[in-house]
Amino acid sequence: MFGQAKAFSGFSVDDLDKAKRFYGDTLGLRVEESGSGDMRMLGLTLGGGAQVFVYPKENHTPATFTILNFPVDDIDMAVDELAQRGVGLERYPEFGADEKGVVRAGRGDEGPAAIAWFKDPAGNVLSVIQES
């Protein structure tokens, strides 16, 4: 039924201006703002052309799950660059995170080779992920 629909995802933030700077300047995504007043919103363009809709929500509650995953070729380089840009990683020792905050594979061929999580200014969880 929706196999050919140009679907998109969306999530809320508590401050659209901070989100625009973070996703555009810090992460380097193409960000387009539309609307005005209470109807402002952002469109993020991800690699490959996928679109994500970001909207302000007065009573925003951060997502407690990963809303965006950014595949990278070298997770250590990506983590170091995030740190240089002022982005701190979330630490999940229960998943075996190393000193950088990276959880590395140790489960055979299951799952990614490495993953690290960080948050946007609204507290939503994002990740960088290196495939096997």
Q: Is the dihedral of CA 98, 102, 108, 111 positive or negative?
A: positive
Confidence (pLDDT) at 36: 86
Same domain, 52 and 93: no
Question: Do 72 and 46 lie in a common domain?
Answer: no
Tens of pLDDT, residue by residue over 40-53, are 999 999 988 899 99
**Is there a domain that residue 61 lies in?**
no
CATH number for the domain harbouring residue 44: 3.10.180.10
Residues in Cβ contact with 98 at an 8 Å cutoff, skipping those fewer than 6 apart = 104
Q: What is the number of other CB atoms lying within 10 angstroms of the CB of residue 16? A: 19
Same domain, 98 and 125: yes
Q: Are residues 73 and 43 in the same domain?
A: no
Which residues does 48 contact at the CB level (< 8 Å), separation at least 6? none
Give the pLDDT confidence score for residue 111 in this predicted structure: 66
Question: How do residues 61-70 score in pLDDT, each as one tens digit?
Answer: 999 899 999 9
For residue 32, the enclosing domain spans 9-56
Summarised one tens digit per residue, pLDDT across range 97-113 is 888 889 998 655 566 79
Confidence at 81, pLDDT banded by 50, 70, 90: very high
Burial tier of 13 (Cβ tally within 10 Å: 0-12, 13-18, 19+):
buried
In a domain, 3, yes or no: no
